[in-house]
Amino acid sequence: MSESPRMYHNPRCSKSRAALALLRERGIEPEIVEYLKTPPDRATLRDLIARLGVSPRTLLRTHEDAYRELGLSDPELPDERIIQAMVDHPRLIERPIVIQGGQARIGRPPERVLEIV
């Protein structure tokens, strides 16, 4: 049997709660990482980005105050600056993210997480 998926979760987010409910309805209990309480470090974020197959910018929540305050809309910002902003301000990280094996999915819409479990 394969190991349980890991879910980067914010219990205050409706999409994150919906993705967790979808997994549990299928008898899947993920390892939950409340990333606002236990933020990922740079290496973990780089790994997530690689598993998602996206650019760091794709993982940014653009409606957060920190996004504007840090000038993250600048298309010339290097990836490392974007990653550091997410390390410093984990609220900027899109959610939920589910990892299973070598793959990951952002649960927007929540059903996307079912593609890898």
Cβ neighbors of 60 (< 8 A, separation 6 or more) are 67, 72, 82, 85, 86, 92, 93, 94
Range of the domain at 32: 6-115
Residue 3 has pLDDT above 90, yes or no: no
**What is residue 1's predicted lDDT score, i.e. its pLDDT?**
45
Look up the CATH number of the domain holding residue 102.
3.40.30.10
| 1 is a domain residue | no
Note whether 57 and 82 are within 8 A (CB): yes
* 23 catalytically annotated: no
**What is residue 2's predicted lDDT score, i.e. its pLDDT?**
63
- Write down the catalytic residue from 4, 6, 13, 66: 13
* Backbone torsions φ then ψ of 98, nearest 5 degrees: -115, 135
| 30 is a domain residue | yes
Percent over 70 (pLDDT), the chain: 98
| 16 is a domain residue | yes
| 67 is a domain residue | yes
| 83 is a domain residue | yes
Residue-wise pLDDT for 49-86, tens only, equals: 999 999 999 999 999 999 999 999 999 999 999 999 99
Tally of structural domains, the chain: 1
| 70 is a domain residue | yes
Cβ neighbors of 58 (< 8 A, separation 6 or more) are 52, 94
Residue type, 80: E
